[in-house]
Every structure is written in C-alpha cells, then in structure tokens.
Amino acid sequence: MLSFSSILRFHVLFLILYTLQLDFSSTTATTPTKIGNGYRLISIEESPDGGIVGLLQVNRKNNIYGPDIPLLQLYVKHETGNRLRVHITDAEKKRWEVPYDLLPRESPPALKQTVGGSRNNAHISTAAADYPGTELIFSYKANPFSFSVIRKSSGDTLFDTRSDDSDPYSDLVFKDQYIEFSTKLPKDASLYGLGENTQPHGIKLYPNDPYTLYTTDISAINLNADLYGSHPVYMDLRNHGGAAAAHGVLLLNSNGMDVFYRGTSLTYKVIGGVVDLYFFAGASPLAVVDQYTALIGRPAAMPYWAFGFHQCRWGYHNLSVVEDVVESYKKAKIPLDVIWNDDDHMDIHKDFTLNPKNYPRPKLLEFLEKIHARGMKYIVIIDPGIGVNTSYGVYQRGVANDVFIKYQGKPFLAQVWPGAVNFPDFLNPRTVEWWGDEIRRFHELVPVDGLWIDMNEASNFCNGLCTLPAGRICPNGTGPGWICCLDCKNITKTRWDDPPYKINASGTQVPIGYKTIATSANHYNGVLEYDAHSIYGFSQTVATHRGLRALEGKRPFILSRSTYVGSGHYAAHWTGDNKGTWADLKYSIPTMLNFGIFGIPMVGSDICGFYPAPTEELCNRWIELGAFYPFSRDHANFYSPRQELYQWKSVAISARNALGMRYKLLPYIYTLSYEAHMTGAPIARPLFFTFTNETRLYGLSTQFLLGSSLMVSPVLDKAKTKVHALFPPGTWYNIFDMAKVIVSKESHYRALHAPLHVINVHLYQNAIIPMQRGGLISKEAKATPFTLVVSFPLGATVGESKGNLFVDDDEIPEMGLGNGRSTYVDFYAKVSRGTVKVWSDVQESKFALEKGLVVEKVIVLGLKGFGTAVEIEVDGNEEVVDASKIEMSSIEHEIVEEREDERENDEMKNVMVEVRGLELPIGKKFVVSWKMGIEG
C-alpha cells in the first residue's frame, strides 16, 4: 500500500524535472572531477585460504568529503571457477558490511592477520602481476593501485579501474563516508540491472540517466529514481564479430550510492561500508544469473497456486465485499486463485488484528473454510510499523522483548497508518523470535495462506526526531492518514543524518533520512540505520519467512515491496504503485525483466494500474499482458473506482482468453519456477537470453520470453489493433492457434493482427511444452490430463526437440527431488527417416503415478507429412493399442505474412499432427511413434 501523499508530491516534482530535462550528469558539474590521489600497493602475499591479501597506502590525503583512510586491506580470491571476489576495507578498523548471518558467504581474512604476519606465505610482486583463476584473471598495478578483471579465454578486459588524466573520475578514493572507484567500458557494451528504478528508455542502461540505489517509498510512477529496492548488480553483454559473451558484477554494499554510467565508464560513489565486488564469468546471460544466485541464494520455491491469478484492492471495506468479488469472478468464469486484503481487515490499521465490525472473525473463518475447500487462498498485508498503544498486545510484547530500533536509548518514534509507531529491529535475534511468535498468534486467529509485507523501506510519514504530546490523538480522523501529526524536530546536524556527499536520494537529493527512519538511529549491537537502511525490508523478509516456515511445515508465500540482494531467496515482489497509463504498461516489462536478473523471478506489476482509474481499453491490454507476468495480480487504490476484471464485459472476454491460456500453461510455468529455484533462471526473460548473438534484441523491451521458447508480444499503445513484433530467426507457432506459423530467416519485425481481445504469444521451434486443460482454479487445472506440444522447424524432415516437466506436492517446504513427493520428466522428440518419435525419461515416478497424471494428447508442429499406425511403448513394453481410442488428425499450417524470399516450391504440405486418446502415465517412460509416409 502506498504513501499517497508521496505519490502526489513526487509525481508533480518529477513532471517538473522531466519537463526541464534535468539529467543526472549535471550533478557531476558541482563535484570535483578528481577527488582523491589514489593508493599504492605496499605489500602483498598469499592468504591461507588460497587468495591473496595486500596492504594499500594512501598516496596523498585530502579532506574532500572527509579524510582518507590511510591503510586499506586488499583481499582477492577466486571463490569458484567462475566467481572472483575483490574485497577492500580499512586495514586497521572493522567497517560495516552486510551481515554474514543475513546473507551467508565466505568471510575475508581478519584484519592485519596475514599481511606481514607469516613469513611462510609466498610474497608476490608489488609492482604488477596477474592472479589467474579458471575463467577470470585478476591483474593489478601498484601505483596508483588499479586492477582489471580479464576473461581468460578471450583476453577481453571486463573491469578496469585505471584512471587516466583525461577520465572524469578518480583513482580509488576510500573515506569513512565516501568511496569512489570506476571502470572503463567499451562503447558497444550493453548493460542491464542497477535497480530498483523505472527506466523510461527500456531494459538497457542509458548513459547519463540517474542510477541511485537507496530503498525509498516513492511510487513507481517516478522515472529514474531510487525506488523500493536496492540491487547494486549489473550484467554486461558484449558481442565481438557475432560472438556474444556476458558477465556480471555485484557490489555487495548496503549503503546509499550513486552510480554514474557515461557509456564508456561506470563510477560508483558510495557513502559508507566497504568495496566488496563479485565478478561472474558467465559467459551466457543464463550462466551469469546462475552464478549470481549461487552466491546470493536461489529463488524461493513457490506454491503452485501462487501462479494462479490474484485479486486485491485497498478499499474492500467489509467481508461481504470480498465475498462478492470471489463469487463475481466465479460467475464471470474468470480464473481466480487468491483473494487479498490490504489493511481493510485490520483493527485501526494495526498489524495482526481483525476489524471486529467489518471482518468479524466467525464470519471470516466461515468464508475461509468455504474458499479453502474450493482450492482458493487468502493473503493479507502487514506493515513493519507497530502502533504505539499500551492496550495492543503486539506492541506490549514488543516492548517486553525490547525489539524496536532505538534513538538515544528510546524506541524511535515514527508515523505510518496506525499513527505513532515503533519499528522492529530485524537485525536483533530477539525481534526475529518475537515476530515469528506474532505470525503464529495471527495464524491461529486467521489461517492466512501467505503474508504481504509492505512499507518496509521503511516508510515514515514524518521526518526527524518526533514525540507524541500527551493528550493528542494521532491521527485524529479529521484528515488524511499520511499527514504527519507528531511533533518533530530536525536532526540533520549529525554526520549520519547529513553526510558530506549527498546521493541523489528520491531524485532530488533530499536528506537520506527523509520520510524514513533517522539514519543516526541504532539497531542491535549499535549498528547505524545509516548503514543498514537498505537491508531493512530484506531483514524483515528473512524473519517473515522463518515465521511462516515454522507454522505448519508448508511452503511459505511472501510478497515484499522492499528488496535487496538475496530477497528472491525468500519472497516474491510486485513493482509498487504504478499508474493506470499506457506508459506504465510499457514500463512494467523492463522492470519485470530486471528483477529476473536480480534473482527475483516471481514478479509482476499491478494489473490495470494501482491508480487512477484505467480506461476500459487499457485494462483489456493490461490483463492480456499481465496474464503472462510470473506474478499476476490486479490491485487498485482506495480512491480509484473498482477495476476487477469482470467490471467491463470486454475486459472479462480478454481475461478469459489470456488467463485461460495461462491456466493451460501452468505446468510449463511451474516447471520454469523449478528451474529458477535450481539454477536462478528467470521465468520471464529478455529475448537475448535465448538469442544471445542477435544484437537487434539487446535493447528490446516491448516483448519477452517465458522460459527459452514462449514469446509474448503485447499491444502497448492506445487504439492499436496491430503489434509490430521482432521475430528472431527460426519458426514460431501461435500458441492460441498452432496452425498459424511465422518463419524468419533473420531477425526482423512483423505486423501481427491484435484485435482488442487478442495477445500474440508464439512458441519457438525445437521445444516441447506440457499443457493441461486449464480451469478456474489451479487446483482443478493441475488435476486435468496433459497435452505435449512438440515444435519442429516448419517442414522438418530431420530435427530434434526437447522439454521437461516438474510436478510435486507444492505444499511441502522443499522443492526438489529425493523427497518421495515429486516427479521430474524429460521429454524428447525426433523426426528422421520419415518417422516421428516422442518419448520420455522419468525421475522418481512414484508421485506422478500416485496422482494418476496422464498425457492424453500429443501435438506435433511443423511436420512434412501426416502419417498412420501409431506405435506406443510404456516402460519398454509394447502396448496393445485400441484403435477406437487413438485418433490422429492433421491441419495444414498457415504461414502468416510470408515474405517472398521465404516461399518454397514444394508440393508436400506442412502440417500439425494431433494424436488423441493416449492415456500415457506421466510416471512411466513411454515412446509414441509413427511413420509420416515420406522418406527423410
């Protein structure tokens, strides 16, 4: 849920800034070009763990942004064959880092423990040398100290910190509250990442756009601003002579930072912490994400129902409205799996409570029993701010357990929806235990199926150090809840509240404590909010995940607004408060794709927009697109008119079409979620993830892939009934009408028909995707028989295709094999010598056999000829086929908008062949084959 005043304030502000075309590069004009004089390497040797460790001494001090730290410890290690770490910190004093228990990883050597301490270690040249690994080489020079990271196989320099006289950036600068370093970049490098922000130019980083990383409660309608999450990671994709290679770079630092991308260089300006760089060798985009999530944590296992459709609204004033919404979806025959409550269910906005009048517990439990029996789920919101109220049990227990963030020894007072609040300190182990206990108590009150954690940047309606005067009611109910009603005074005179370098916070360089927790406040063990600010939402996510896991041993579902590196290991994300505009519809695609790179594949935007009211046409187009977001939810603002999908007859038609296909594709999407959980692979991906050598795709932000093979090409503009879609080379089949096919010999655009209720989704060649019959609830859909759709290049007489399927008991916490409650199947298909063959290889068949899952149909696309006499084997035994059950038919493919140079003079027809009535057990290996009637 939003801070509504923030939306209005920042929307107006950004319209002004955007109109004036103020760009981030202007900030550099007010700061010295060369801030520091660099460091020199004075000693270096091998560390006991196989890395290298050295000492850096400042060349010449200055006091710009504070004094330089005189001695730094350098630690470098090839942690794996494809991951290199470069860690630089104060050699004499421990500095803030992202806690190792919150984000587990290897620890660097203790300060001053190895350098000069052991004469047994081999000393390395302090002039210049290389430290090679399997895939990457760390190369350094001594004075001024600089380093580069080189790809071993190609010699390509991936990261280069040298600063020449002509460069607009310094050598390494390391001060207590200001760190700066840079890398040179080739002009043709394509960069992605560095979020969370709304990027108007699409998914590729755009030179001189602002990239500020600091978790902030300003809505997603604001362009080029630091939003709810902080992800200081980027992917660099380069193409030399048609051969592409990607690598990734993570700066693991939670302090506020500006990143200046100039096209030929990238400069980090960070206001604290350490330099902790991780380099991921790739070399494919998928490999980069695999290596990245291997470090930060694989994406969370999601329950099957989470991939169904979700409906939410801030403003479901009572339970009867929620009941009506559920029944209206059912009556309209629009799929719905999950119904949500924003804070309407709460007692005066207080976490873990029920409004006794509008959401009486007996009636709510009756409602939940009804929808649970149907297979539906229920999720509610909780905010981190705990209302200061001596009669409120959650607050009382929080005080008793001393769980709140402090300012000068007292709980820091802020204001959010309940009025005066204190913020739990999730870095405190006692807080984590208390939070888990509150989740347990609430679940006993209301058996919710997941939790939605919001406002966790953390958001505060007030600024500074505040008090609640005796006798004052805050809020008093006479004005908007987001107007500060506490007595507050400015506390920006400390160096933590007013650091020497001003990051571009909120796009306007407001104080970094603006509308959040004062950055001089203290967490557990004296940790400053200044350092820990951007991990607040992440720490709450970890605590919430732990609490949910302890409930019933079920797989948790958490949706979090604020995210950090590693959040995807625990939670899904929605992109915050987007507007119901055509521009925001477009922005939703690159934002979604970025979060796939960040290791948070379960992501989507508020369908139809959070506010204001969308037009009917826009909502049609948005549900067509949103039906293919990994996380698909309609969500609206308190002040907007109702926009459930059944509110317009036309939108209901589009919803039944698009969501109907989504529910048929749920086994494919769920299998992609398993792949994400095992390897980090995004569910929704840019096209270049599959077609990495196609440079025309590097900036494409209006289309995307689900997995490697299913391309979504939505209408994103008003009053359009055609969409110009870019098709990479190969054969593409319309998933809604598989007889229709597009063939590309090279990447080029095609104009596709897209009337109001149509979205174009195409399946690529050489794939096998599992589908089911669909349904109105995922529980029903997942019990229906399967269809295997096999795609070959059009007119194939020789070819191979493959795909897979993962099925499990999706309520169990762990997602994987070896638990007796899951089955994994590889599917293969081959056409050769006039024969078509489709077969499977099964791992752990027990679960699928117990569930009675069967394949009822095989559809093969792109064949050159029909065929007869289907032969079937199951577990190596030839089945006796009842000819009355097996049906085989074919339909001639229709080549859509065929270009002249693609026509073939061939009398043989290209056909899709459908084999029905199979009843093949998913849990057994099978072979289906037939002759096409031609010789290959």
- Which residue numbers are catalytic? 454, 457, 577
Q: What interhelical angle do 393-400 and 429-445 show, nearest 10?
A: 160
Element (H, E) at 78: strand 71-80
**Interacting residues of 487 by C-beta distance below 8 A, sequence separation 6+:** 466, 467, 468, 469
- Which residue in this structure is represented by tokens 């070819």? 799
Assess contact for 464 and 490: CB atoms under 8 A: yes
Among candidate residues 419, 426, 430, 350, the one with its CA nearest the CA of residue 382: 350
List 87's β-bridge partners, or say none.
75, 276
CA distance 898 to 672: 32
Cα R_g (the chain), whole angstroms: 29
Positive/negative CA dihedral, 563, 569, 570, 574: positive
**Interacting residues of 5 by C-beta distance below 8 A, sequence separation 6+:** 461, 480, 482, 483
Among candidate residues 563, 516, 558, the one with its CA nearest the CA of residue 539: 563
State residue 30 phi and psi, 5-degree precision.
-100, 0
Among candidate residues 774, 772, 776, 775, the one with its CA nearest the CA of residue 807: 772
CA distance 695 to 686: 12
Measured torsion, CA atoms of residues 68, 73, 78, 84, in degrees rounded to the nearest 10: -10
DSSP-derived secondary structure for 151-170: ETTT--EEEE----TTSSS-
DSSP-derived secondary structure for 857-900: EEEEEEESS--EEEEEEETTEE----TTT-EEEEEE-EETT--G
Q: How far, rounded to the nearest angstrom, does the alpha carbon of residue 509 sit from its chain's CA centroid?
A: 27
Positive/negative CA dihedral, 85, 211, 283, 675: positive
- Which residue in this structure is represented by tokens 């051969």? 243
- Structure tokens, 921: 């057990």
Specify the 3-state DSSP secondary structure of 732.
Answer: strand
Q: How far, rounded to the nearest angstrom, does the alpha carbon of residue 910 sit from its chain's CA centroid?
A: 40
Q: Which of the 8 DSSP states describes residue 311?
A: E
